[in-house]
Amino acid sequence: MSHAFERLKKRSPQKRAINPYVHASGYRFVTIAEELLVDYRQRLLAKAKSLSLRGSLLLGTEGLNMYVSGTDDAVEAFQAYLDTYPCFHEFSLKWSYCKEQPYNRMLVRIKNEIVTMGCDGVCPQNSSAPYVTPEQLKAMLDNKEEFILLDARNDYEVALGTFDGAEVFEMASFREFPDKIQEKKQDWVGKKIVTFCTGGIRCEKAGPYLLAQGFEDVYQLEGGILKYFEHCGSAHYHGECFVFDKRVAVDTDLKETETIQCYACRMPLTKEMQVADLSSMTCPHCGGLPLLGKRVSEGAGLAVAG
């Protein structure tokens, strides 16, 4: 299934001065011949670097998953470049804006999966759960409809925020999702399920997996939490949203928050958890030193490299 295609909206010089960088993310599940991957990688990397973009592109036989940041003109030019590939024509992106470059370098990597589930036979390019738009989900929540709102993200992401009443799993990796579903299979028979994640890509695999397990009434939130914030703000959502770059988290206005990440255990630390002297702070999650990347070894009481 394809998302509505949009070009980057023009911004005034004043807005560009406040937030010089555009963060653009998107994905497409489409079959790409394996023999084309190396050539695609080289060409996409060369173009991105020529535009001074930074970020990461994951490329595989099942499609493309990308997170990049740069100036408005650079991001717009790269989206136009993607248009020259038939498989990436009208490649849909989600936008947010930031004061600093959230990535250190530009990478294009060839992967077996552009989002790792580790489950054979799940092919979103061939089978996908239907979308509900952010507005439709808000209406469902406004009307207190009965359905399972399933968070497909990892535990450290959920710790920062999620939808009110969402079903959450204690999982460190999306690879654990199939096992978690097996644990719920009997309890959820015949129920309506709507999945959501940060930007939507994990739900593209979660949906087909649920359908393959015999669940019939399965949907996914189009564009994920980030698109929901863009269209519906904070309605029915509490907290922040974890993002996989130097910003760490954004609020419901898609603005970077003061949350940092512990370099020892990778858990997010909100402003309320932080102390004035971060260099001596002890992480409430692992007991280690967040800025030094050291955690306390179990039972030893000594700081060791994490």
Plot region of 59 (φ>0 → left; ψ -120 to 50 → alpha; else → beta):
beta
pLDDT one-digit tens code per residue, 72-112: 999 999 999 999 999 999 998 988 899 999 999 999 999 99
Q: Which CATH class is domain 131-241?
A: alpha beta
Mean pLDDT of the chain: 91
State the Cα–Cα distance between residues 142 and 242, nearest whole angstrom: 25
Point out the catalytic residue in the list 87, 119, 123, 197: 197
pLDDT in tens, 19-60: 999 999 999 999 999 999 999 999 999 999 999 999 999 999
pLDDT digits (tens, 9 = 90+) for 202-234: 999 999 999 999 999 999 999 999 999 999 999
Q: What is the pTM of this model?
A: 0.87
Q: What is the β-pairing status of strands 241-242 and 249-250?
A: antiparallel
197 part of the active site: yes
Kindly report, as residue ranges, where domains of CATH 3.30.70.100 are found in the chain. Answer: 13-110
Residue 299 is predicted with a pLDDT of 33
Residue 67, beta-bridge partner list:
25, 56
- Whether domain 13-110 has CATH 3.30.70.100: the reply is yes
CATH 3.40.250.10 in the chain, residues? 131-241
